[in-house]
Homo-oligomer: A and B are copies of this chain.
Amino acid sequence: MGFFSYFNRIFHGHPSASKLFVICSLSSGGLIAHGDSPSEGGKSIVELNQKVPVKKRVVVLGTGWAGTSFLKDLDISSYDVQVVSPRNYFAFTPLLPSVTCGTVEARSIVEPVRNIIKKRNGEIKFWEAECLKIDPANKKVFCRSIIGENLAGNNEFSLEYDYLVIAIGAQVNTFNTPGVLEHCHFLKEVEDAQRIRRTVIDCFEKSVLPGLTEEERKTNLHFIIVGGGPTGVEFAAELHDFVHEDLVNVYPSVKDLVNITVIQSGDHILNSFDERISTFAEQKFQRDGIKVLTGHRVLSVSDRLINMRMKATGNDDSIPHGMVVWSTRVGTRPVVKDFMEQVGQGNRRVLATDEWLRVKGREEVYALGDCATVDQKKIMEDISAIFKAADKDNSGTLTIEEFQDVIEDVTIRYPQVELYLKSKHLFDVADLLKDADGNDGVEVDIEGFKLALSHVDAQMKSLPATAQVAAQQGVYLSRCFNIWEKCKDNPEGPRKFKSGGRHEFRPFRYRHLGQFAPLGGEQAAAELPGDWVSMGHSTQWLWYSVYASKQVSWRTRVLVIGDWSRRYIFGRDSSRI
């Protein structure tokens, strides 16, 4: 008794002590996944703040990967921060497919936002509400609490900002396919995963009831996944494991009636991955009896049927289902769409920012994560300005020496240059200016310069809508906010070739740290940095270690590892709750 309450006190007082106590085997403790966490620059801002007592008001919309990693490292001694999100927790979304089948519990992958933000010295205000409208003209956001309609007090309020950080993610994209909203499950929120888990059990419970025909039982046990991306594939694999490791023991009478089908519009599943992984996954699914229908487009979904067209032949087909999980690409949220119209981006598909994550057309608004895309600057747009800036002697031609003077700024400002060099196996930017015979020392004029760089922009790729990108953007932006005062005087960014001077900050640069695709049966595939590909059982163990170390808190880390162990020992629970 005394022992426990003693520890209780200790741990509540010193959260770090608990870390030592509970589990010591994990060496890596990066708190927000996929991103480094620099937190320099704090001190100088505190000093400045004493002279400038009015803090800038920052409003952050969203507590997903982008919003949370922004808040985690933000030095709030110089900002007055308010956060608005309809969810008062951060969810470790890469584990959502595991939640659908009870491999991991929903509560093990969430951490209250207040726990994450209260750790910082200072105060961040959090409001559990949805942002209804952004008013960039008046620098205001309008919000409404979505809970407790029956509780006292007005549900609507508005907040004023000096800086707005939009990190509200994307929404499900049905591509206007009829019946999808009504009859499909999605896999974006924790509640979605919980609902899928209940529905899978429902399908089994219904199928074993007396009086059903074999055909009816089979229909109810046909699980269809639309979308062969990482989420859809992982869910299919999880479901297969759940069925064959646990449910067949509990519902032995229908174990031969279960079918899992993945419908993919492209020619392969996991087509954003390396081809070897894609093939490995398809072969594994074939062995497991998971049917993969590639080259099929879904036309409509009804309560019992899914209708689709085979792209190659144009033939239509429909198959009965017990449950459909819709896991395709994402779309823009209405509030962002409305904001885009106000800032002159009405005809774009996704909200565009520059490389500093500033919304184009509104420099005091930042957008990161799935709700925005970084519109990268083409080098050819600025080619004349670069030439002019480099050509110091105004000779009309550029020597290698002159070019080397601007090379650093060019590669920082236009990351595609580096990608281009890599693709051409060149080691030095100066090599670009070499003539066809490989001789350097040649002077190029503006036309020659344009020609040398003409294929560089083809290397630009838009960033994927992943947790990794969002988290890195959050970390990047918080660093910019933290060193802002310092950088006003000593800008660290590259040279502005057109207008002169320097950018305050370096532009955001995404570092791809790899990507996992768990395939079930304790096997996974991974794309690792440096074009490495790893597949099989050992990769699953790599997956376990990475996902355990990337947890947002020690609490969730212990819970997730506990869930995995529980699954090994006792299997997954099939109670319908």
**A226-259 contact mask (Cβ, 8 Å, vs B): 1 or 0:** 0000000000000000000100011100000000
Task: Collect the chain B residues with CB atoms within 8 Å of residue A105's CB.
Answer: 105, 107
For the complex, is A540 an interface residue (Cβ under 8 Å from B)? Answer: yes
Q: Does A115 contact B (CB under 8 A)?
A: yes
Contacts A88-B576, A555-B570; A205 near B148 (Cβ below 8 A): yes
Contact across chains for B574 and A88 when beta carbons are under 8 A apart:
yes
Chain B residues within 8 Å of A571, by CB: 12
State A52–B106 Cα separation when bound (angstroms). 51
CB neighbours (8 Å) of A129 from chain B are 209
Q: Does A147 contact B (CB under 8 A)?
A: yes
CA distance in complex: A206, B22 (Å): 34
Q: Does A575 contact B (CB under 8 A)?
A: yes
Contact yes or no, B202 A322, CB < 8 A:
no
Contact A205 B145 (CB under 8 A): yes
Determine the distance from Cα of A220 to Cα of B107 in the docked complex, in whole angstroms: 25
With an 8 A cutoff between CB atoms, is A573 at the interface? Answer: yes
Cβ of A54 within 8 Å of any chain B Cβ, yes or no, is no
| Chain A residues numbered 20-59 whose CB sits less than 8 Å from any CB in chain B | 21-22
Tell me if A162 counts as interface (CB < 8 A to partner B): no
Give the number of chain A interface residues (Cβ < 8 Å): 86
Q: State the CA gap A7–B1 with chains docked (Å).
A: 34
Asked if A271 is an interface residue, CB under 8 A from chain B, the answer is no
Alpha-carbon gap, A4 to B566, bound state (A): 12
Among B249, B250, B568, contact of A4 (Cβ-Cβ < 8 Å): B568
A417 to B562, CA, bound (A): 54
- Decide if A22 touches B569 in the complex (CB within 8 Å): yes
Residues 95-122 of A at the B interface (beta carbon under 8 Å): 102, 105-107, 110-112, 114-115, 118
Indicate if the CB atoms of B569 and A1 lie closer than 8 Å. no
User: B89 touching A577 by the CB < 8 A rule?
Assistant: yes
Determine the distance from Cα of A43 to Cα of B207 in the docked complex, in whole angstroms.
Answer: 35
Indicate if A18 sits at the interface (CB-CB under 8 A).
yes
> Is there an interface contact between B216 and A152, defined as CB atoms closer than 8 Å?
yes
Residues of B within 8 A of A215 (CB): 152
Cβ contact within 8 Å between A576 and B111: no
How close is A306's CB to chain B, nearest CB, in angstroms? 13
Which residues in B have their C-beta under 8 angstroms from that of A201? 88
Q: Are B107 and A206 in contact (CB under 8 A)?
A: no
**Contact, CB under 8 Å: B4 / A211:** no
Contact A303/B576 with A107-B105, A209-B145, A250-B114 known, Cβ cut-off 8 Å: no
Q: Given that A250-B115, A303-B150 are contacting pairs, would A566 and B575 also be in contact in the complex, using a CB cutoff of 8 Å? A: no
Least CB distance from A155 to B in Å reads 8
Does A175 sit at the interface, judged by CB under 8 A? no
* Inter-chain contacts of A152 with B (CB < 8 A): 212, 215-216, 219-220, 304, 320, 322
A147-B574 CB under 8 A given contacts A4-B568, A568-B11? no
Q: Is A87 an interface residue (CB 8 A)?
A: yes
Q: Assess whether A203 is interfacial by the CB under 8 Å rule.
A: yes
**Does A439 make an interface contact (CB < 8 A)?**
no
A537 contacts B by Cβ under 8 Å: yes
Contact of A202 (CB < 8 Å), options: B12, B87, B147, B211: B147
Check: A499 CB closer than 8 A to any chain B CB. Answer: no
Complex contact A112–B575 (CB within 8 A): yes
A122 to chain B, nearest CB (A): 13
Q: Mark A1-21, 1 if CB is under 8 A from B, else 0.
A: 100110110011000001001
Known A89-B577, A148-B202, A150-B304; further 18 A-B contacts with Cβ < 8 A: A5-B522, A12-B571, A18-B570, A88-B576, A107-B575, A110-B575, A114-B574, A115-B250, A115-B574, A148-B205, A148-B206, A148-B220, A150-B303, A152-B216, A152-B322, A154-B212, A558-B569, A559-B566
> Can you report 27 A-B residue pairs in the complex whose CB atoms are below 8 A from each other?
A4-B522, A8-B569, A12-B245, A12-B571, A22-B569, A88-B576, A89-B576, A111-B575, A112-B250, A112-B575, A115-B574, A118-B249, A118-B250, A128-B205, A128-B206, A147-B202, A148-B203, A148-B206, A150-B183, A151-B322, A152-B215, A153-B211, A155-B209, A157-B209, A157-B211, A194-B577, A555-B566
